[in-house]
Amino acid sequence: MATVATSGCEAADIRRIVREELAALREELANARVSANATPPEPTPESVEALARGHRLIDAALSSRRWTNQDAQMMREILAQLDPAQQKEVLQRLIPAMNRQEIRVSGLMGPPF
């Protein structure tokens, strides 16, 4: 049977250290769950207005059936003003429309948003 060098650590010390680490990990996980379940902050008036501008931009693109360099630049500016949930809302409307070719993307110099 092989022996393990414990460098002065007793089994009781090792068990105590493991229990302390597990307790700290449980507390960390509990705090992470509380943070994940926390209500996100209310959108600012500026982000609400930017969200409306984003939807209007998409409406105009759907009407013209095209997405221009100017549209892409405007959308980048709008996205910078939105919170993550608002960004998701706008992009979940824009990207499928582009994929379905309801909005044609051609001749862009750079990314579409």
pTM beyond 0.95, yes or no: no
Nearest to 98 by CA among 53, 71, 61, 52: 61
Does residue 113 or residue 24 have the better pLDDT? 113
SS3 67: strand
Task: Find tokens 């700290």 and name the residue.
Answer: 24
**Are the beta carbons of 97 and 62 closer than 8 angstroms?**
yes
Does residue 41 or residue 100 have the better pLDDT? 100
**Where in the sequence is the domain holding 31, given as residue range(s)?**
9-38
User: Is the same domain home to 53 and 27?
Assistant: no
Does residue 6 or residue 9 have the better pLDDT? 9
SS3 75: helix
The structural domain count of the chain equals 2
Nearest to 103 by CA among 112, 52, 88, 87: 112
User: Is the same domain home to 55 and 90?
Assistant: yes
